[in-house]
Amino acid sequence: MTPRTRAALVGGVTVAVLIAAWEAAVRMGDLPPFVLPAPSHVAATAVGSAPLLGPHVLTTATEAVLGLALGATVGWLLAVLTATIPTTGQVAQPVVLLSQTIPTVVLAPLMILWAGFGLTSKVVLVALTVFFPVLIASSAAIRDVDAEHADMVAGLGGTRRHQLWIVRLPASVPGALAGLRIAATYAVGAAVVSEYLAGASGIGVFIQRSRKAYAVDQIFVGIALIAILTAVLVLAIVALRRALTPWQPAHARL
């Protein structure tokens, strides 16, 4: 058994145990299904509403992936920019902080004034959530770069640009990937929240409609979909990490 199959197996067993424990808790405890439906019940609901779900999942996945790509790119570029020209960092700092502290419920109406109801405003909202961990983790990685390496390049006649391209950027990749790993976990959730605020389709719309209809089992179907989409994204990032850091030994997947 390779470490990777082992990891997949342990993960799978854990999920199974969790679900079994949940089922048992619902059956033995006396929580009304209205508070916590049994997973078997949720599964049945999922099968029943399967035909509905396809377009919702597609919408959310599109928003999440595009938003993740946009946000990660912006975050990484901003990290590079602020590392190159420190003043930009000092200027960006308050703006970045604000972008993370304004509640989405307040931001969304302004966003929609500006970008309309379509895909754009949702992708931007996801990107807004996602760029931040990438920015901070990349910045930290670029900043903490070995002076030894930067000096080496300068000593060979390299300019600051060379230092950036040869040392800082590559050295920031593991950090950026750690940021991206965090960001990927938030991306689907952010897409769902953006749909709460203004959506015609998507898992967020599905959940919101279910809430309004007091259909708790459907809400849990929605949550399961979010979790699955997120897991897929995260696994993709882990694969990306493997591809982008070939010099590192294969390592745990957390």
> Which range in 8-16, 17-25, 59-67, 170-178 contacts other proteins by CB under 8 A?
170-178
Query: 130, 233 in Cβ contact below 8 A?
Result: no
State which of residues 28, 47, 156, 254 lies at the interface with a second copy (CB under 8 A). Answer: 254
Note whether 29 binds a second copy by CB under 8 A: no
Angle between helices 216-244 and 39-84 (to 10 degrees): 40
186 binds, among a second copy, other proteins, none (CB under 5 to 8 A by kind): a second copy
182 binds, among other proteins, a second copy, none (CB under 5 to 8 A by kind): a second copy
Query: 252, 238 in Cβ contact below 8 A?
Result: no
Query: 23, 37 in Cβ contact below 8 A?
Result: no
Q: Which is nearer to other proteins, 88 or 251 (CB)?
A: 251
Q: Under rule CB under 8 A, which residues in 111-150 are in contact with other proteins?
A: 112-113, 116-117, 147-149
Note whether 149 binds a second copy by CB under 8 A: no
Selection from 108, 154, 155, 99 nearest residue 130 by Cα: 99
> What whole-number distance in Å separates Cα of residue 189 and Cα of residue 227?
9
246 binds, among other proteins, a second copy, none (CB under 5 to 8 A by kind): other proteins
Structural Rg of the chain based on CA atoms: 22
Maximum C-alpha span of the chain: 73
Query: 96, 132 in Cβ contact below 8 A?
Result: yes
Binding residues for other proteins (CB under 8 A): 31-35, 49, 52, 105, 108-109, 112-113, 116-117, 147-149, 151-159, 162, 166-167, 170-171, 173, 195-200, 204-206, 208-216, 218, 245-247, 249-250
